[in-house]
Amino acid sequence: MSDQTYITLNDGNNIPQMGIGVYQVPEGQQTIDAVTNALKLGYRHIDTAHAYQNERSVGRAVKQSDVPREDVWITTKLWPTEYGSGRTTAEIDKMLGRLDTDYIDLLLLHQQVGDYLGAWKEMEQAVAAGKVRSIGISNFESDRLEELCNAATIKPAVLQVECHPYFQQNELKRRIAPYGTKIEAWYPLGHGNSGLMNEPTFTKIAKAHGKTNAQVILRWHIQEGNIIFPRSTNPDHIRDNFDIFDFELSDDEMNAIRALDKNVRFFNMPLSEQETNFMQFHPAD
C-alpha cells in the first residue's frame, strides 16, 4: 500500500487525511484491536470522543503500538455538558488522563449547543498551554458557526459534519473558506446506504481501476480535500479502506461523482431537538 496524504491546517499542523473512526465501537478489546490493526496497516489518525466512551482503549492501543506517539494523530471531542468557562479546562485534563497522553492533536466541540463560546476560550488556553495542538468544531451548521468563528481568536482548524457524494456540503465549504477551516466527513460512505454504495457511476469507475465502490468513494473524498475516518472493526474492511493511495480519479470521473449530489442527509436532527437531547446526556468519566 502507498503512504497516505496529509493536509496542512490553518494553524500549520499537518493532519493525516485518512483515519479510522471508533464511533459505536465498545470500550475494551474491540476498540483496542481495531486501532492496533489500523496502526499496523499504516493509519496514523484515530477519531474518538468522550461521548463514544472508548478513549481509554484508544489511548491504550496507541501506547502499546510500535508507532511513536508523535506520529499518531488523535482527535477527540468535548460533549456539551463539558462546555463552559471554569469547566472545560478541567474536562480537558480528564480527557488527557483517559487517553493517557500528554497532548491531544485535535480537540473538537462535539455539538452546537451549550456554552460553546466559553468552552472555545478554554480550548484556546489549552493550545497555549501545550495540552492541545489544534482545535475545531463538529456539527456546527447553523448561524452558530459564524458566531463562534467571529468570536474566536484561533479559528477552527476543522469542521466535522456529515459529508458524502449524496451530501457534498459545497455551500458549507463556501461558508468556512474565509477562516481556512477544512471539512472532516463523518458518514463518508453515507452510512453504508445501499443506494449510494451501488450507484452505477461508482461501479463503472471501480471496474476501470480494479477497485471497489467504497474505495472509489473514499478516493473521491481524498481528491476533494476532505478529511475522512470510516469506521470499521472488520480487519478486511480496515485494510481495504486504506488501500486507496495507489490510484487516482480523472477529472471526468471526479465530475461524474460531483454530479451525484442530491442534498440528502442520512442523519438529521433539528436544532431544537439538539438543545434538549444533547444536554441530557452526561458521558461517564
What's residue 202's pLDDT?
A: 98
Express the helix, strand and coil content of the chain in percent, nearest 5 each. Answer: 45, 15, 40
Beta strands in the chain (DSSP E): 6-8, 14-16, 20-21, 45-47, 73-78, 104-109, 132-138, 158-162, 182-186, 227-228
Mean pLDDT for the stretch of residues 255-265: 96
Give residue for cell 444536554.
Answer: 279
Q: How far is CA 39 from CA 64, 69, 116, 232, 285, in A?
A: 11, 11, 33, 13, 26
Q: Which three cell numbers stand for residue 160?
A: 466535522
pLDDT band for position 269 (cuts 50, 70, 90) = confident
Task: Flag whether pLDDT at 17 surpasses 80.
Answer: yes
The number of CA neighbours under 13 Å toward the Cβ of 255 is 3
What's residue 150's pLDDT?
A: 97
Collapse the DSSP code of 227 into the 3-class scheme (helix H, G, I; strand E, B; otherwise coil) and give the result: strand
Q: What's the pTM?
A: 0.96
Q: Based on C-alpha coordinates, what's the Rg of the chain?
A: 18
Is there a contact between 247 and 209 (Cβ–Cβ < 8 Å)?
A: yes
Task: Flag whether pLDDT at 49 surpasses 60.
Answer: yes
- Active-site option among 52, 83, 116, 187: 52
What's residue 66's pLDDT?
A: 94
Query: Exposed, middle or buried, 133 (CB in 10 Å: 0-12/13-18/19+)?
Result: buried
Residue ranges of domains in the chain: 16-276
pLDDT band for position 2 (cuts 50, 70, 90) = low
Mean per-residue pLDDT over the chain, rounded: 96
Picking from 7, 5, 27, 20, the residue whose alpha carbon sits closest to that of residue 232 is 20
pLDDT band for position 132 (cuts 50, 70, 90) = very high
Task: Flag whether pLDDT at 1 surpasses 60.
Answer: no
pLDDT band for position 270 (cuts 50, 70, 90) = confident
Mean pLDDT for the stretch of residues 168-172: 98
- Higher confidence at residue 144 or residue 191? 144
Dist. CA 244–CA 241, nearest whole Å: 7
What's residue 268's pLDDT?
A: 82
pLDDT tens digits along 71-116:
999 999 999 999 999 999 999 999 999 999 999 999 999 999 999 9
For this structure, is 179 an active site residue? no
- Higher confidence at residue 273 or residue 244? 244
Superfamily of domain 16-276: NADP-dependent oxidoreductase domain (3.20.20.100)
Percent of the chain with pLDDT over 70: 99
What's residue 91's pLDDT?
A: 98
Mean pLDDT for the stretch of residues 183-207: 96
The number of CA neighbours under 13 Å toward the Cβ of 242 is 24
